[in-house]
Amino acid sequence: MPSVFIKTYGCQMNERDSEAVAAQLVAKGYTLASSETGADVILLNTCSVRDAAEQKAIGKMQNLAAEIRRGRPEVVLGFMGCMAQSRGQQLIDKLPDVDLVLGTQKFHRTAEYLDEILAGRREKVVDVAEEEGSEATIREHVVNGNSVAKSISAFVSIMQGCNQYCTFCIVPYTRGEERSRTIPDIVAECRELAARGVREITLLGQIVTSYGKREIPVVAGKSAFVQLLEAVHEIAGVERIRFTSPHPKGYGDDLVEAYGRLPKLVESAHIPVQSGSDRMLKLMHRGYTRERYLGIIEKLRRVQPGMGITTDIIVGFPGETEEDFAETLSLARAVEFDNAYIFKYSPRKDTPAASLPEQLPREVKEERNARLLATINEIGARHYEGYVGRCTQILVEGPSRKNSARLMGRTRSNKIVVFDGAERHRGQLMDVRITRAGSFTLYGDPAIIEVD
């Protein structure tokens, strides 16, 4: 049977989509190649969120065409995901070696189209149409995947799309309208994962706090998302629940209160803020103010004082002044983020911000990026240092990525802890004493010697 290699760019949603495609292909008899050399099919699952991500995938495809396809003309090359969705046929016009262009609502058709291409029934396939029900098709997981960590912690896609239309963001165009799976469908998937030994579930979507808004009514003051959290919380074997990415506007009292009530909902949240300036937040169409954001953080910390908070921030949005940027720096200090992903604004096709007049020069974006990064690193280091000498619970995921002789796990607040442990610790919740803090990593010793 043909072998396939999938290379993934971008966010965790993309990682999850690639995994579901891999599982689908394995079920149809394909094998998974460990590298592109020798693979019969090479698929690039793409990201459109910034121009650099698109250019990377295009460059990669050019290399594949020149280096692999020249020697082996029968190799099938394909683009999937966000850039496939936004550029469609154009990709084949530009790169004639590409055989398959598959949009974000068509991942479940990968095997069908590859079969047709491999059998010579079709030469090229471009499918970027909408498809009803496609939100429920990302559900298969790779059994015995080569990543050990995956079997302890799994991602579950709960919804597709986003209706927020932030003025900088291409996601509503590449991922479409918000569409949510049902609670029983998601719970069934989580149960299967728990039965296979998964201990931690991360619920995934572009704007998870809007989960089920149109489909599932509020019950006793609880939003659909909180109802889903409760349902997943009931599953025996699931020890920890996380989710990404929420939107600040989704932190109603029902969600804040859930952190105090649901012990498996760990005290960690990635809450994208984008800017600390109200003027920018408005131009970005974010739907909250600086004060409202700070209010949410304060409420969360009141319920869970150890809450680990990370965020996304854009620097150099059109018209951002030095004063606006200073507001972002001061917000970062006020919140004391554990970490932040900083992005230099990148104009995206057909988004309102791309045609705003005051686009900033690259040097300004880079300079602000560097200044904010220094601030985030300084605050982050303080957080990590604060753990030294303390005992904390971790869920052991598997070998450390940097040093496979050691194990790694995560604290409830989502910090990586590396320690000397044994294979039998994998999947266990255990207490470790933190001995040292490195750059966004903690080092620990098991605090309790188990007595068997």
Q: x/- binding map, residues 164-183, to ligand SAH, per CB under 6 A?
A: ----xx-x------------
The verdict on 171 binding ligand F3S (CB under 6 A) reads yes
- Per residue, what are the HEC states of 370-387? HHHHHHHHHHHHHHHHCC
The verdict on 272 binding ligand SAH (CB under 6 A) reads yes
Q: In what order do the strands lie in the sheet with 308-315?
A: 268-270, 308-315, 339-344
- The radius of gyration computed from the CA coordinates of the chain, to the nearest angstrom, equals 22
- The letter for the amino acid at 430 is M
Contact partner at residue 314 from ligand SAH, ligand F3S, none, CB < 5 to 8 Å by partner kind: ligand SAH
- Return d(Cα 411, Cα 390) in angstroms, integer: 12
Residue 403 neighbours by CB distance under 10 Å: 10
Among 98, 207, 226, 437, binds ligand SAH (CB under 6 A): 207
Residue whose structure tokens are 């601030």: 375
Identify whether 245 is preceded by a cis peptide bond (ω within 30 of 0).
Answer: yes
Cβ-contact 20, 107 below 8 angstroms: yes
From the list 78-86, 161-169, 386-394, 406-414, the region that binds ligand F3S by CB under 6 A is: 161-169
Task: List binders of ligand F3S among 246-275 (CB under 6 A).
Answer: 247
The verdict on 273 binding ligand SAH (CB under 6 A) reads no
Nearer to ligand F3S, 50 or 415 (CB): 50
Contact partner at residue 432 from ligand F3S, ligand SAH, none, CB < 5 to 8 Å by partner kind: none
- The letter for the amino acid at 100 is L
The verdict on 14 binding ligand F3S (CB under 6 A) reads no
Burial of 377 (0-12, 13-18, 19+ CB in 10 A): middle
Helix (H, G, I), strand (E, B) or coil at 111: helix
Nearer to ligand SAH, 101 or 207 (CB): 207
Q: x/- binding map, residues 57-96, to ligand F3S, per CB under 6 A?
A: ----------------------------------------
Which residues contribute to the site for ligand SAH (CB under 6 A)? 11, 49-50, 168-169, 171, 206-207, 245, 272, 274, 312, 314, 343, 345-346, 348
Instruction: Give the binding site for ligand F3S (CB under 6 A).
Output: 162, 164-166, 169, 171-172, 206-207, 247
